[in-house]
Structure 1
Amino acid sequence: MSPFLTLARIALLCLSLCCSVHAAGTLDIIQQQPHRLTELQYQITDVSLSANELVADPALFHNFTALTPQQNTLRITAQQAVWLLAKIKNPYPEPWDAVLSYHFLAVDKVSFYKVATDIPSVQFLGRSGSAFPFSERPLPLYSFSQPLRFDIAEQTSVLIKLEDAAMIGTELSISSLAPLLEASQQQLQQDSMINGALLLLVLLALCRGVQQHQPALYALAGFYLAFLLVLITLNGQAFSRLWPLHPEMNAVFIYISVGASLACLSLFARFSLLRQSSGYGLWLNSGSFLLALLLLFSPLFASGPMKLKLLFICMTLVLSITLLQALFISLTTQVRYTPRFSLLAVAATLQLLLLQLSYMANFVQWLNTSLLFVLTISTFLLLHIPKARLQFARRDL
């Protein structure tokens, strides 16, 4: 029996044991997982409108509309605010210390209010958001959480005001503190696995670049490093550990890191797939690189909505151009090992696409698993990069 098959069987055995232990633990806590609130109502108003003014005006307070499942995110401007109205009831035959959590980590400001409909008035509970220092949060969690106290069979309405200059999410969940901490720990473990995989890819790409004399791998290492910065900015780890007292860095660093990752991806495609190409291929690659630089420096000249539009435009164009060029060169070039560089470019493109999807869908679990799978494929491809320099025939793309 070959050593490879032996290692594969050992890995499968360990994986099955881990899955069985995880399944046994999941059965015990499945009823305690944070519950996502689905029957939410919302409306968009002027940002200057206060909660008391909203509740005191019957026309405004009855102007809420039901939030559809397709409205995971809403686009607004700096002059607008989104109000979410949630009705929550204590399901336990005893007083309940609950925690209401808002999971869109890029929002600027989140304010929580408890509504007394019989007066009518509101009670301010607390505020949070990426525009405030991390130390001001009531709970040291990446999500924006607010503790609530429910009496027996109590039902109350909670009003949440969301302020941002570009886009906000609409996901709310409620649970007890212990399940919320456990879910937060599980998410932290998944994020740490992906972060560790990216750091290993950075080191592996640098080592392979030195060993195999491939300049393209230095650009690929820069892409993985910038991609890691994008990830830790989106999941809140950079805010809590790198600049907890400087919340203004959150709105700036995401565009810088995404622009840097797109620039490194364009350089990788140029050094590996377009070394001796001419014509439209080089022009398209140069355009992609300039777009990435435009996004990289966008915090210096662009407003919130403009930066968001520029982010989506640059990501769409740069990823599309890189993906199409990689597939075209892989299918039309007969040089040995070209498909491996093409697959690396495709894998890097898929990583950014999966990250964007998980950002829009509030880090859905299967997207994180897919991202880890793509990183594993990238590692396998890096281990099989040839030492000889690639010589590509000149062609117009």
Structure 2
Amino acid sequence: MRTAPLLAVLSFLLTLSLPSFGAQTSYIPEMQYLRLSADESLTLDQALADNRWQPLAERTPNFGYIQDPIWLRFDVTDPERINLLEISYPQLDSIDFYLLRNGELAQEVHTGDRYPFSERPVQHPHFLFPFTLDPASSYEIVMRVATEGAMQIPLRLWNNRSYFESASVESQLHAGYYGILITVICFNLFVFVALRESVYLLYVLSTLGYLLLVGSLNGMTYQVLWPGLPEIQNRAMLLTVPFAMIFTLLFSRSFLRLKEASPNLNHLVMFLIAINVATGIATFFVDYSTGSRLTVALAIPGCLLLTIVGPVLWWRGNPQAVFYTLAWGALTLGSAVTAANKYGLIPNNFVTAYGMQIGSALEAILLSLALAARIYHERQDKVLAQQAELTALEARRAAEL
């Protein structure tokens, strides 16, 4: 059992090195961008002729939550090796891809998460655009991107063989993460069936919520569960956040016995549960952009509260709060990093994009240990209670004699 957190930490450290794979056959190009108003529409020729193009200061375009469409353009160098463009953010609604050869349109692709998954050039959670270049010609890629969610466009040019070699490593890490959560869900569901204690069912639903949330963020649920239903993918992105928060708050309330341990904190947790229920209902009546910002913004207070609850009860002498504090510290840090990334406050990289995934894996492991410790302590308490009863019974019999 002690090796599980160590393995999680090693997996985390391994993820830090992911961007270096295939470094010699991939690069982030120097880009120019054109930002339009939400009601402004340009054709490709009009966009190319526009005089408002500006150089992009950061390596990874991240404009936060905006409604304006963004045009990007950049030259393709090293045509003998580069033949693939990757955009590693699956939540972009619409991407218009144009490859220009010597100034003439050579290839055109339209995709995004508002299109059926089967229409993508490559069946992959990320947006991949393969192309073939002639070393004797000059090439430029122009793209128009529009989305109602966070406007971040982490793109990189690759040699396709190097990309899939690198992606296979990342896929293995994702598989390990999903495997951890699925194992945690199955184990605690089995314990719930055996013991009939609601705290285990609440933890199963909480972990399931994070599994669906991270799967939606990574594009896996769209590829595996509903590839032909883009409207469900967008709805899932809005509902999984309040779903995860509701059952996480309910689990925390039950696990820490807040009703008896701290009535004031219990009332605050119940208030946040009601807020998240209302948020989930509200997502059916607001546009995606508003719903996305609302769910992310209202998830942060719940995470912060649960991070505070653990140390408070730990200070009051609750032994189970130790594991809980460590678990929610990891999850809150990861969630805060991901939320800040979505708002464009910090640069986009593997750690900031997958902070919630890393934190939730550590949280799942630590809380599973906490629940196992809970079973052990409850059994110990029962044994001690039985021993006390036997001792008292023997004392009464001795007194009668």
TM over 0.5: yes
The whole-number CA distance in structure 2 between the counterparts of 1:76 and 1:89 is 31
336 and 191 in structure 1: CA distance in 2 versus 1, 3 angstrom threshold: closer
The whole-number CA distance in structure 1 between the counterparts of 2:33 and 2:325 is 45
278 and 258 in structure 1: CA distance in 2 versus 1, 3 angstrom threshold: same
The whole-number CA distance in structure 1 between the counterparts of 2:327 and 2:22 is 39
In structure 2, the partner of 1:380 is 369
Amino acid at match of 1:218: L
141 and 258 in structure 1: CA distance in 2 versus 1, 3 angstrom threshold: same
1:94-243 aligned at under 5 Å gives the runs 96=81, 98-115=83-100, 122=105, 125-152=108-135, 154-210=137-193, 214-243=197-226
In structure 1, the partner of 2:42 is 49
The whole-number CA distance in structure 1 between the counterparts of 2:260 and 2:150 is 42
1:168 match: secondary structure = strand
The whole-number CA distance in structure 1 between the counterparts of 2:164 and 2:340 is 25
1:295 has 2:279 as partner? yes
Q: How far off is 1:377 after superposition?
A: 3.0
1:37 has 2:20 as partner? no
**Greater gyration radius:** 2
223 and 370 in structure 1: CA distance in 2 versus 1, 3 angstrom threshold: closer
In structure 2, the partner of 1:310 is 294
In structure 1, the partner of 2:267 is 283
Mind listing any 5+ residue stretches in structure 1 that lack a counterpart? Answer: 392-397
The whole-number CA distance in structure 1 between the counterparts of 2:175 and 2:303 is 26
In structure 2, the partner of 1:256 is 239
Q: How far off is 1:302 after superposition?
A: 1.4
305 and 315 in structure 1: CA distance in 2 versus 1, 3 angstrom threshold: same
1:85 has 2:49 as partner? no
1:157 match: secondary structure = strand
The whole-number CA distance in structure 1 between the counterparts of 2:82 and 2:65 is 33
> What TM-score do you get using the length of structure 1 for normalisation?
0.79
Root-mean-square deviation over aligned CA pairs: 3.4
In structure 1, the partner of 2:309 is 325
The whole-number CA distance in structure 1 between the counterparts of 2:124 and 2:215 is 14
Amino acid at match of 1:45: L
Task: Identify the structure with the greater helix proportion.
Answer: 2
Identity %: 19
Q: How far off is 1:233 after superposition?
A: 1.0
Q: How far off is 1:219 after superposition?
A: 1.1
Mind listing any 5+ residue stretches in structure 2 that lack a counterpart? Answer: 382-401
Q: How far off is 1:122 after superposition?
A: 4.7
The size of the alignment, in residue pairs, is 361
Contact 1:109 1:129 in 2 (8 A): yes
Contact 2:91 2:217 in 1 (8 A): yes
Contact 2:335 2:359 in 1 (8 A): no
Q: How far off is 1:201 after superposition?
A: 0.9
Q: How far off is 1:109 after superposition?
A: 0.6
The whole-number CA distance in structure 1 between the counterparts of 2:314 and 2:195 is 21
Amino acid at match of 1:141: H
The whole-number CA distance in structure 2 between the counterparts of 1:106 and 1:378 is 30
Amino acid at match of 1:40: M
The whole-number CA distance in structure 2 between the counterparts of 1:277 and 1:242 is 41
1:110 match: secondary structure = strand
374 and 345 in structure 1: CA distance in 2 versus 1, 3 angstrom threshold: closer
In structure 2, the partner of 1:395 is none
2:283 match: secondary structure = helix
Amino acid at match of 2:88: H
Q: Deviations over 1:352-388 (max 9, x none)?
A: 4466578783543985666544443333333322353
